[in-house]
Amino acid sequence: MQDILSQVINHYDVIDRFLDEPAIALVTDFFQTGRLRVQVVAIINSNPVDIVRESARQLFEEIPELIQPGGNAYTTRRHSMYLRDMDYFLRYASYAILTGNSSVLDERLLAGLRDTFNSLGIPLGVTARSVQLMKERVQQKLSEAQLGNSPFVAEPFDYIIHALSERNV
């Protein structure tokens, strides 16, 4: 896992060049948004249960067959596993927000996800919707804290949603 600073420096080291204006702009933006990134992650870290619980509640209202007999979140065990998985997605999204880099999502979350979820019969479209609902809940928490919604907050959630959507469901 790398932050944006490490990624930029490693890239320019590999190509054996000095940093150019776009690279300096990336690094500058990373440092200028550093305090806000920490505040956003602090809000996520102080509210993960609420974010996951409320997102799951909304999802189950939208798609009630998930918690009915035969549904992927039916039975206490499956429901708990579903909430655990949502918590994983939220936690890794917070890592990506803090580092300004989505590489952690590829390395630790999305690698092998399709095969794992397909083998367990977990629908990826529903999972993508869960991530969307968590993103909306995080943005709501940030608005309540008067922190606004910087684009970097949505980026990891959108990255996950896009990756899930590319999978053959």
Under DSSP, the state recorded for 149 is -
Phi, psi (deg, nearest 5) at residue 129 = -65, -40
Is 37 in contact with 98 (CB distance < 8 Å)?
yes
pLDDT at residue 158 in the model = 97
Domains in the chain, CATH or no CATH each: 1-32 (no CATH), 34-166 (1.10.490.20)
pLDDT at residue 166 in the model = 67
Dihedral Cα 64, 59, 50, 74, nearest 10 deg: 40
pLDDT, one tens digit for every residue, the chain (169 residues): 789 999 999 999 999 999 999 999 999 999 999 999 999 999 999 999 999 999 999 999 999 999 999 999 999 999 999 999 999 999 999 999 999 999 999 999 998 887 788 788 888 999 999 999 999 999 999 999 999 888 899 999 999 999 998 644 4
d(CA 42, CA 52): 16
Beta strands per DSSP E along the chain: none
Query: Model-level pTM greater than 0.75?
Result: yes
Is 44 in contact with 159 (CB distance < 8 Å)?
no
pLDDT at residue 167 in the model = 46
